[in-house]
């Protein structure tokens, strides 16, 4: 685009894509970026001349495009990337910010820094070497940081004679690995960064590949859907008071949309008001969106200062003092000290924080957990429980990357000690709090015209919750499904809540840690209560390994409405059945926290019913249970 054709307004309104690159040593990250810049004509003439001269001095026959991003002297000498190199360029479709991050394990903190704001990550894999440990590590870190789009660029296809089988094997292996991660959009592209094949221009050497080039993917991947335009969050950075007739609150919108006339709440004070004016670049506007820096004027005089947060009245983040988070340790001078305090910087707020528990360290190469640790050192990643001196206004990181992230600062040196991502507001020690203290603010129960007793009177039978508990493969679901059919055939209002089905939807965001299992049962308990209130006979089939979990659900219901059914089956018999192959995977170390293998199961203390699936048939068990329902 010539200077005469350049349209400043059009350029400013162009969509911006931030992306990061990562790969093992000599996978070609810097060369790929150089090729992107070179083939998209984003290099100035003086830069090109400097590249040519430097390449000649190094005795190279052709221009080394990697020099465009390898800016440090140490990088050029070693031919590797050490620091995070940022580059800016644009095409007629988009603007881009590239973060070229080092792939070495000792520079994990650099990759976390460069990838923390990325919309997309490009992971390079050398076609000669296949999927390495570092390739998996880069995928894990991308998943950990919540990067929504992943491009796996299989580089140096020219060296393997453009072999399709080599590419397919890498695709298959990395696809299997990515199933363990929270990655929903992954694209595989065979390339040669050195020759430019499938980087900007389609390759003539790989006619078997008909997918996008790297540039095409960068220009066309949909990122507008990744923006959170629902949850309005604006941390206040500064109070603007140019004269006595104007008082506004300046800040950058972390997420959501705000419009004139919106009802807002200031946190943590909970003071309410209405948006009077929105000022953007000294001009008033009707609305503002995520990423824009604005000044809000309110109808009422409210005491708001730096560190507070302005949100919508009906959509508020959690205001908490205790939370669980994953952190990457960044201090090369000293490791994590669980016995001291740190400064926690969250959005525009700062407060002291203490570490209640270091739950485990994550091996970024194997994804395994190391639970017997008391510190974290440079580049190590771990899961911790924090308690803050003052409340913070947060959303989980998976929901909002800005209000869900923070940094720790050493109070003695004021160096950045760690970067963190909030997982949830409660830690392992707070599992009982999840059961007994989870109450939303500013809500109350609404009375209904039709209650459960009226529904039961019309139905002609009592509503109740039958809770099937036992080991995996003990027969819970098999018996419950048969009982559901029998009751349905009798004309009963019956519904089965099955563990696997629930985890496909309502609880699809939960894993299998102790805290996640606790939250899984908490949610299910309340769903069962809603169905019970609707007059249904609710069948629930959940391992629910802890007695506390089952007692919690019982506590939600009237006395006598909850029947705990212990489905007894020896562990060895469950292993033999193993219809889903889960025991086999758990014993091989492929599944962690599996009940009966590396997590204990607490046998019910006083269940209402005990059935043995090793002694009776399904039909016999259903007949037995059918009689117990009417008792």
Tens-place pLDDT, residues 467-509: 999 999 999 999 999 999 999 999 999 999 988 788 877 887 7
Residue 143 and residue 182 in contact, taking contact as beta carbons nearer than 8 Å? yes
Residue 203 and residue 372 in contact, taking contact as beta carbons nearer than 8 Å? no
- Give the separation between CA 170 and CA 124, rounded to whole angstroms: 11
**Any idea which of 143-147, 167-171, 355-359, 366-370 has the lowest mean pLDDT?**
366-370
Let me know if the fold of 8-226 is the same as that of 452-629: yes
More confident: 441 or 596? 596
290-299 pLDDT, tens digit each = 889 999 999 9
Q: What is the mean pLDDT of residues 39-55?
A: 65
Q: What is the mean pLDDT of residues 589-615?
A: 85
Residue 226 and residue 148 in contact, taking contact as beta carbons nearer than 8 Å? yes
DSSP lists the bridge partners of residue 21 as 100, 122
Q: Which of 98, 132, 93 is nearest to 1 (CA)?
A: 93
CA 12 to chain centre: 30
What lies within 8 Å, CB to CB, of 345 at 6+ separation is: 406, 407, 408, 409
Matching residue, tokens 């510190």:
375
CATH code of the domain made up of 318-430: 2.40.30.10
What string of DSSP letters covers 207-246?
TT--S--HHHHHHH---GGGS--SS-EEE--EEEEEETTE
pLDDT confidence band for 394 (50 / 70 / 90): very high
198-246 pLDDT, tens digit each = 999 999 999 999 999 999 999 998 887 778 888 899 999 999 988 888 8
Q: Sign of dihedral through CA atoms 595, 597, 600, 602? A: positive
Q: Could you tell me whether strands 464-469 and 562-568 are parallel, antiparallel, or unpaired per DSSP bridges?
A: parallel
Matching residue, tokens 């190094």:
58
Note the pLDDT of residue 177.
86
Q: Where are the domains of the chain?
A: 8-226, 233-312, 318-430, 452-629
Residue 342 and residue 410 in contact, taking contact as beta carbons nearer than 8 Å? yes
Q: Percent of the chain scored above 70 by pLDDT?
A: 86
- Give the separation between CA 263 and CA 272, rounded to whole angstroms: 7
- Give the separation between CA 133 and CA 103, rounded to whole angstroms: 11
Q: What is the mean pLDDT of residues 357-376?
A: 86
pLDDT confidence band for 9 (50 / 70 / 90): low
Residue 110 and residue 10 in contact, taking contact as beta carbons nearer than 8 Å? no
159-191 pLDDT, tens digit each = 999 999 999 999 999 998 888 787 778 999 999
- Give the separation between CA 143 and CA 145, rounded to whole angstroms: 5
Q: Could you tell me whether strands 186-190 and 233-235 are parallel, antiparallel, or unpaired per DSSP bridges?
A: unpaired
Q: Could you tell me whether strands 349-362 and 341-346 are parallel, antiparallel, or unpaired per DSSP bridges?
A: antiparallel
HSE-up of 177 (CA within 13 Å, CB side)? 21
Q: What is the mean pLDDT of residues 1-17?
A: 63
- Give the separation between CA 31 and CA 75, rounded to whole angstroms: 13
- Give the separation between CA 235 and CA 329, rounded to whole angstroms: 25
Q: Which of 274, 267, 272, 280 is nearest to 236 (CA)?
A: 267
What lies within 8 Å, CB to CB, of 522 at 6+ separation is: 434, 435, 438, 552
What string of DSSP letters covers 580-620?
TSHHHHHHTTSS-S-BTTTB-----SS-SEEEETTTS-HHH
Residue 139 and residue 367 in contact, taking contact as beta carbons nearer than 8 Å? no
Note the pLDDT of residue 442.
46
Matching residue, tokens 């205001």:
319
Q: Both tokens of residue 54?
A: 């430097």
Note the pLDDT of residue 590.
73
Note the pLDDT of residue 448.
60
CATH superfamily of the 452-629 domain: P-loop containing nucleotide triphosphate hydrolases (3.40.50.300)
pLDDT over 70 at 80, yes or no: no
- Give the separation between CA 108 and CA 365, rounded to whole angstroms: 11
- Give the separation between CA 40 and CA 45, rounded to whole angstroms: 14
pLDDT over 80 at 319, yes or no: yes
101-116 pLDDT, tens digit each = 765 555 567 777 777 7
Return the H-helix or E-strand segment holding 239: strand 238-243
Residue 214 and residue 151 in contact, taking contact as beta carbons nearer than 8 Å? yes
Q: What is the DSSP letter of 434?
A: H
Q: Which of 164, 166, 135, 165 is nearest to 152 (CA)?
A: 135
SS3 74: helix
pLDDT over 50 at 360, yes or no: yes
Note the pLDDT of residue 211.
93
What string of DSSP letters covers 458-502?
HHTS--EEEEEE--TTSSHHHHHHHHHHHHHHTT--EEEEEHHHH
Note the pLDDT of residue 102.
66
Q: What is the mean pLDDT of residues 277-287?
A: 89
More confident: 435 or 182? 182
Q: What is the 3-class SS of 44-84, one letter each residue?
A: CHHHHHHHHHHHHHCCCCCCCHHHHCCCCHHHHHHCCCCCC
Q: Thinking of the domain 233-312, which architecture would CATH place it in? A: Beta Barrel (2.40)
Longest Cα separation, the chain = 92
H helical segments located in 119-212: 133-144, 164-178
Residue 278 and residue 296 in contact, taking contact as beta carbons nearer than 8 Å? yes
Residue 187 and residue 174 in contact, taking contact as beta carbons nearer than 8 Å? no
pLDDT confidence band for 371 (50 / 70 / 90): confident
Q: Both tokens of residue 119?
A: 């919309």
Mean pLDDT of the chain: 84
Class at the top of the CATH hierarchy for domain 8-226: alpha beta
Residue 228 and residue 399 in contact, taking contact as beta carbons nearer than 8 Å? yes
What string of DSSP letters covers 100-122?
E---SGGGHHHHHHHHTT-SEEE
pLDDT confidence band for 83 (50 / 70 / 90): low
What lies within 8 Å, CB to CB, of 445 at 6+ separation is: none
More confident: 510 or 534? 534
HSE-up of 268 (CA within 13 Å, CB side)? 11
The catalytic residue positions are: 544
pLDDT confidence band for 259 (50 / 70 / 90): very high
CA 161 to chain centre: 38
């Amino acid at each position: 685009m010539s200077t005469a054709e350049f349209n400043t307004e059009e350029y400013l309104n162009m969509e911006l894509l931030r992306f990061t690159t990562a790969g093992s040593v000599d996978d070609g990250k810097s060369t790929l970026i150089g090729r992107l810049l070179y083939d998209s004509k984003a290099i100035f003439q003086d830069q090109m001349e400097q590249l040519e001269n430097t390449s000649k001095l190094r005795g190279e026959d052709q221009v080394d495009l990697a020099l465009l991003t390898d800016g440090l002297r140490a990088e050029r000498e070693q031919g590797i990337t050490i620091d995070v190199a940022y580059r800016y360029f644009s095409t007629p479709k988009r603007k881009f910010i590239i973060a070229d991050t080092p792939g070495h394990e000792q520079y994990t903190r650099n990759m976390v820094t460069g990838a923390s704001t990325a919309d997309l990550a490009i992971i390079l894999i050398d076609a000669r070497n296949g999927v390495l440990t570092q390739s998996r590590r880069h995928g894990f870190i991308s998943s950990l940081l919540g990067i929504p789009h992943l491009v796996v660029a299989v580089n140096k296809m020219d060296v393997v004679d453009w072999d399709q089988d080599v590419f397919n094997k890498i695709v298959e292996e990395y696809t299997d690995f990515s199933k363990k991660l929270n990655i929903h959009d992954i694209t595989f592209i065979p390339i040669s960064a050195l020759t430019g094949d499938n980087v900007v221009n389609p390759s003539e050497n790989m006619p078997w590949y008909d997918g996008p080039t790297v540039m095409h993917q960068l220009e066309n991947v949909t990122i507008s859907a990744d923006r959170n335009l629902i949850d309005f969050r604006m941390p206040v950075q500064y109070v603007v008071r140019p004269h006595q007739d104007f008082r506004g609150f300046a800040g950058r919108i972390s997420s959501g949309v705000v419009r004139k006339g919106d009802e807002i709440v200031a946190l943590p004070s909970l003071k309410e008001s209405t948006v009077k004016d929105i000022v953007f670049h000294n001009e008033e506007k009707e609305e503002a969106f995520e990423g824009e820096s604005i000044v809000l004027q309110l109808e009422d005089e409210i005491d708001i200062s730096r560190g507070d947060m302005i949100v919508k009245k009906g959509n508020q983040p959690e205001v908490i003092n205790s939370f669980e988070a994953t952190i990457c340790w960044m201090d090369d001078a000293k490791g994590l000290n669980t016995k001291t305090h740190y400064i926690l910087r969250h959005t525009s707020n700062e407060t002291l924080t203490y570490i209640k528990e270091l739950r485990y360290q994550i091996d970024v190469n194997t994804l395994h957990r190391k639970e017997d640790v008391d510190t974290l050192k440079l580049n190590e990643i771990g899961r911790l429980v924090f308690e803050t001196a003052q409340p913070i206004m947060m959303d989980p990181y998976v929901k909002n990357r800005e209000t869900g992230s923070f940094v720790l600062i050493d109070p003695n040196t004021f160096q950045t000690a760690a970067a963190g991502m909030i997982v949830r507001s409660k830690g392992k020690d707070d599992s009982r709090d999840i059961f007994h203290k989870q109450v939303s603010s500013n809500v109350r129960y609404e009375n209904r015209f039709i209650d459960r007793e009226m529904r039961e009177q019309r139905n002609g039978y009592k509503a109740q919750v039958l809770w099937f508990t036992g080991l995996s493969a003990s027969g819970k679901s098999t018996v419950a499904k048969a009982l559901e059919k029998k009751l349905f055939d009798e004309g009963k209002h019956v519904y089965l809540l099955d563990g696997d089905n629930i985890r496909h939807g309502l609880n699809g965001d939960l894993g299998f840690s102790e805290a996640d299992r606790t939250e899984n049962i908490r949610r299910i308990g309340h769903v069962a209560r809603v169905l019970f209130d609707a007059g249904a006979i609710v069948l629930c089939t959940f391992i629910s390994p802890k007695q506390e979990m089952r007692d919690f659900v019982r506590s939600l219901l009237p006395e006598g409405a909850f029947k705990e059914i212990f489905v007894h089956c020896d562990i060895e018999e469950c292993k033999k059945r193993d219809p889903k192959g889960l025991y086999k995977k758990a014993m091989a170390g492929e599944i962690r926290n599996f009940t009966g293998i590396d997590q204990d199961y607490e046998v019910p203390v006083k269940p209402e019913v005990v059935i043995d699936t090793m002694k009776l048939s399904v039909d016999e068990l259903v007949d037995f249970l059918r009689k117990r329902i009417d008792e």
